[in-house]
Amino acid sequence: MSEVSQGGRQPTIREVAAHAGVSPMTVSRTLAGGVNVRPDVQQRVLAAVRELGYHRNENARSLRPGQASGLIGVAITNLGNPYYGNFALGVEEVAAEYGRRIVLGNTGEDPARERQLIADFIGRQVEGLVLVPSGGASDHLQPERLGDIPIVLASRRVYGLDVDAVLLDDVGGAYRGTRALLDAGHTRIGFLGNVRSVFTGQRRYEGFARALAERGIEPDPDLVQREQQDVESARDAMRRLLDLDDAPTAVFSSNNRNTVGALKEIGRRLKAGADVSELPAIVSFDNFELAELMPVPVAVIDHDARQLGREAARLLLSRLGGVDRRGPARLVEMPVTLAPSSTD
């Protein structure tokens, strides 16, 4: 009968050593790959490990100089958003490929929470950080304040912070999406977006406005709704747009949450008897499942959140190799694709 973990406490390297009749160092060496340990001794050690259910204490291990913790801190604004779920998945995958684990925190767009999380991550000796910044001040993110732990920003950048970042081609995507609407003959185009302080919101508005400007159209303030963070408020904003005397014939939605809110409002109106022809066409920055089944045409500015996560993790891990640990900040801008609603 094996005698796993009698006391509820984890067995230590010393207990394994005693069990195998060797010194702790021999156990350590065996677990580190077995260099300079006789094969038969290794077998004895490994048998003892199995019998006792021993797991090397990574925390104690990382205490030694030169031993990294194997942890990556990941702080995300909203895990409940499928977009960020996929992003986290991408980070996790690449981290796992490199033997790292992720410690995950949700900031909920709250800068104070972000600050706490990062402080905690540092205390846990993470090797690096991946952050979707929630906006606001950047002082706690300066490299010195992080003890020179590498950080990669994702989706958004922070003004005045010169670190690696992975962004989308927000401006270009929004520009092309808006152009598509203009080319289809729309001139009154609504805009649904984030609060101004959100980096992507700003950039996507920029692409939107640029496309209009090229056609000599000044954005109508009534048609620009920029304060929505969730589906409910997005729906309200869409309602306001559609209730205008001179309602837009098309709407540019600058993210997932706004698109879903807008479509919910459209669904309500259809059920209330509205005719599809009265309802606006939509271009959505961010894809979503089943977009092709929507009752109004929804073109999608698509991109792969998981790839974004993978790229962020790759940037970060490249800083851990030691070579370019302190190289100049790199900016990766991932392409987006504009797909009409009919494709799948």
Residue 285's closest CA among 251, 237, 253? 253
Q: Rounded to whole angstroms, how far apart are CA atoms 311 and 317?
A: 10
Task: Please identify which residue in 43, 67, 187, 343 interacts with DNA, judged by CB under 7 A.
Answer: 67
Determine whether 283 is exposed, middle or buried from the number of CB atoms within 10 Å of its CB (0-12, 13-18, 19+).
buried
- Cβ atoms of 108 and 77 closer than 8 Å: yes
Which lies closer to a copy of itself via its Cβ, residue 188 or residue 264? 264
Residue 123 found at the interface with a copy of itself (CB under 8 A): yes
Which lies closer to DNA via its Cβ, residue 9 or residue 271? 9
184 SS3 class: coil
How far are the Cα atoms of 92, 124, 174, 318 from residue 116, in angstroms, in the given order?
Answer: 22, 12, 34, 26
282, containing H or E segment: strand 281-285
Q: Rounded to whole angstroms, how far apart are CA atoms 23 and 280?
A: 75
Site string for a copy of itself, 220-249 (x = CB under 8 A): ------------------------------
Which lies closer to a copy of itself via its Cβ, residue 144 or residue 275? 144
Candidate ranges 52-60, 102-110, 133-141, 255-263; the one touching DNA (CB under 7 A): 52-60
Residue 139's closest CA among 164, 115, 109? 115
Residue 219 found at the interface with a copy of itself (CB under 8 A): no
Q: Rounded to whole angstroms, how far apart are CA atoms 61 and 59?
A: 5
- Residue 21, phi-psi category: left (phi > 0), alpha (psi -120 to 50), beta (remainder): left
203 SS3 class: helix
Q: At what angle do helices 39-52 and 13-20 cross, to 10 degrees?
A: 120
Residue 22 found at the interface with DNA (CB under 7 A): yes
Task: Please identify which residue in 79, 182, 217, 320 interacts with a copy of itself, judged by CB under 8 A.
Answer: 79
Dihedral, 256, 257, 261, 262 alpha carbons, nearest 10: -40
Task: Please identify which residue in 3, 4, 14, 50 interacts with DNA, judged by CB under 7 A.
Answer: 14
Which lies closer to a copy of itself via its Cβ, residue 127 or residue 203? 127
Task: Please identify which residue in 6, 7, 8, 9 interacts with DNA, judged by CB under 7 A.
Answer: 9
13, containing H or E segment: helix 13-20
Residue 319 found at the interface with DNA (CB under 7 A): no
Task: Please identify which residue in 17, 88, 299, 312 interacts with a copy of itself, judged by CB under 8 A.
Answer: 88
Task: Please identify which residue in 57, 187, 197, 343 interacts with DNA, judged by CB under 7 A.
Answer: 57
Task: Please identify which residue in 188, 264, 269, 330 interacts with a copy of itself, judged by CB under 8 A.
Answer: 264
Residue 65 found at the interface with DNA (CB under 7 A): yes
99 SS3 class: coil
Residue 64 found at the interface with DNA (CB under 7 A): yes
Which lies closer to DNA via its Cβ, residue 41 or residue 270? 41
Residue 337 found at the interface with DNA (CB under 7 A): no
Candidate ranges 19-27, 218-226, 320-328, 335-343; the one touching DNA (CB under 7 A): 19-27
Residue 185 found at the interface with DNA (CB under 7 A): no
Residues binding a copy of itself (CB under 8 A): 4-5, 8-11, 53, 55-60, 62-63, 69, 71, 78-82, 84-86, 88-89, 92-93, 96, 101-106, 119-120, 122-125, 144-145, 147-148, 260, 263-264, 266-268, 271, 288-290, 292-295, 306, 342, 344
